[in-house]
Structure 1
Amino acid sequence: MKGRTISLILALAALLALGACSAGYKERTLDYLGKRPTTGPFFKEDNTPMVELNYNAGDQISNQLEERLPPGSPITVSMFRLRGSTLQTDFAKVLTEQVASRIAQKGFAIVADSSRFPLAALDEDLAPPEKCVLAGAYSVGKEQIFVTAAVSTVADGEILGSWDWTVPLNSKTKALLPIKEDPDIYPMVNTSGPYEKRTPTQSSAQPQYVPDQFNNQPGFEQDIMN
């Protein structure tokens, strides 16, 4: 009887040890595979300062203007537009001001009214100044904002300098856009049971803008200027 009791105790201890080992193995496996049920953001937010990206765009456009724009040419500024919409956002205002500011810092004449600006050549060996306009357009993607800006002549629309770049769609830029803030926290594993096929719907993190039905002509110039 005593021997049977000892055997039962040893068997129970072995079962407990086996269960502990199995649980430990499962925990290590979950850690290794990155499948531990938890919550967290899928991607680390890109917090590159917006002003750095826009100043770099201003530098690139200025470098092109140095080779093609006659000295003293006045450049008026048109508010950058959201493609497919007539909506003016705070993001567009900041974007436009920063690019224009950088071009002005590089020595170009950013003016409010080019009609008051003299168009006589500064020197007889130089071409006369050319009235120009800085304009741009942007589209909001899932993780980035895609921007294009150009300086073109008023007379014939010739593009003298342009640049394309992206701005991260993060908490700071979202605050300048009419986008409902999303917590960006998702379960890393399926915690809702069996997969169910659902009809795709537009994400709440995406902006819902009213399309501009009056300016639907294709073309680079139309996208920038209208």
Structure 2
Amino acid sequence: MMIKPLLLAGALSIGLLSGCATDANRVPEITYEAAANSPFVATNYRAADALISQFRASPDGGPLIVATVVNIDALDQSSTLGRLISEQVSARFSQRGWAMVEMKFRSAVYMKRGEGELILTREIGEVARLNKAQAVILGSYGVSGTVVFINMKIVQPGSNIVVAAYDYVLPYNNEIRSMLVRSTR
């Protein structure tokens, strides 16, 4: 009869200990405050500000087009990371008074399903002409062992001359890895 209470106590102890181990390994949920203070958006805004400071044109000179930031090793592919960088750079230019052409609503641009606004060099001139854009903002990213290198450029569509450029680095952490996993082909 004494065995049953000992077995029950042992089973309860094991259950409690395994519950503690699960909680210890669980990643805590991020709060709204912590999410609002994420350096990801601020880093992309700094990149846009750096491009704006180099660009020797006026917001009155015509709209700009932002192409999706693409994988440097596969220029016809992007990811959640590339699309978010493009969106945030476009938002920052808009906040700074630049007219931005929203390519998602245009039928004149080749849109690869799931990739965003991919613009190859041969297409830049035609897309810019159709949209009366004074420049196109392009970018690429490359993944290293511990970081992701980002290169952003502003290109004159008629001549393909780079008129502004900025490089920056993101940590290859869980947040960035999760955005790279969600790529589409």
TM-score by length of 1: 0.49
Give the aligned partner of residue 77 of structure 1. 66
Q: Which runs of 4+ in 1 moved over 4 A?
A: 113-117
**What's the CA shift string for 1:18-48, capped at 9, x where partnerless?**
xxxxxxxxxxxxxxxxxxxxxxxxxxxxx96
C-alpha distance in structure 1 between counterparts of 2:149 and 2:178, whole Å: 17
1:108 alignment partner, one of 98, 108, 117: 98
Give the aligned partner of residue 176 of structure 1. 179
Give the aligned partner of residue 94 of structure 1. 84
Structure 1: which 5+ residue stretches go unaligned?
1-46, 120-129, 180-209, 211-226
SS in 2 for 1:55: helix
C-alpha distance in structure 2 between counterparts of 1:160 and 1:109, whole Å: 18
C-alpha distance in structure 1 between counterparts of 2:84 and 2:59, whole Å: 28
Larger radius of gyration: 1
- Once the two structures are TM-superposed, the CA of residue 115 in structure 1 deviates from its matched residue by 5.2
**Structure ranking higher in helix proportion:** 2
2:49 counterpart of 1:59: yes
SS in 1 for 2:145: coil
- Once the two structures are TM-superposed, the CA of residue 76 in structure 1 deviates from its matched residue by 1.0
State whether residues 144 and 168 of structure 1, in contact with CA within 8 Å, keep that contact through their aligned partners in structure 2: yes
**What's the CA shift string for 1:155-214, capped at 9, x where partnerless?**
1012222100001111111110128xxxxxxxxxxxxxxxxxxxxxxxxxxxxxx9xxxx
C-alpha distance in structure 2 between counterparts of 1:143 and 1:94, whole Å: 20
2:154 counterpart of 1:151: yes
Q: Which amino acid aligns with 2:63?
A: P
Structure 2: which 5+ residue stretches go unaligned?
1-36, 107-127
Pairwise CA RMSD of aligned residues?
2.8
SS in 2 for 1:150: strand
TM-score by length of 2: 0.59
